[in-house]
Amino acid sequence: MMAETNLCTRCGLCCSGALFDFGPLTGEEVDQARADGLAVLEAEGEFGFALPCPALDGACCTAYATRPGTCRAYRCKLLRALEAEDLTVAEAMSHVEEARAIMAALTLQLPSGMTVTDLRRMRRRATAEDDAAPLMAPPHLMIALGMLDLVLDQHFRKASERQIMPRG
């Protein structure tokens, strides 16, 4: 268990907006999430919180004791593979380091105030079949985002999970 815990405290990719745009919340969790500084979203009676998460400090959660249930339950593909001993701690760490390095390089290239989540939204709008919005982000940012998603889809999540953090 120690190895898995260490992996997460050196990673934080599921909280940083690298893997997902937002996480789900139950109605009962909304007040605590707001108290912890999370950006609570509501649509059609469903609740969630926006990522990147403001409670993330480096790769650690500053709201650990009161974090939402989805954060308690979530285990990415890499963590589950480590727990199943399908790969070593060193192999898992190298995937974390690779993904974090790509995320950091992409974040450095973003205009001030823009997040990877914003960039993903722009890509979704630009590629939506029913939306003729032009591609607003520079191509080099889209290429870097594509590289990030490739590595994350391969080791951390299913490609179908790019938007919402699953409940576990």
Contacts with ligand SF4, residue ranges (CB under 6 A): 7-8, 11-15, 19, 23, 53, 55-56, 61, 63, 67-68, 71, 74-76, 78-79, 156
Nearest distance from residue 87's CB to ligand SF4, in Å? 12
Nearest distance from residue 84's CB to ligand SF4, in Å? 14
In contact, 148 and 116? CB cutoff 8 Å: yes
In contact, 36 and 29? CB cutoff 8 Å: no
Nearest distance from residue 129's CB to ligand SF4, in Å? 31
**Which residue, 60 or 143, is less far from ligand SF4 as judged by CB?**
60
Nearest distance from residue 85's CB to ligand SF4, in Å? 15
Report d(CA 114, CA 116) in Å as an integer: 7
**Which residue, 19 or 137, is less far from ligand SF4 as judged by CB?**
19
**Which residue, 52 or 137, is less far from ligand SF4 as judged by CB?**
52
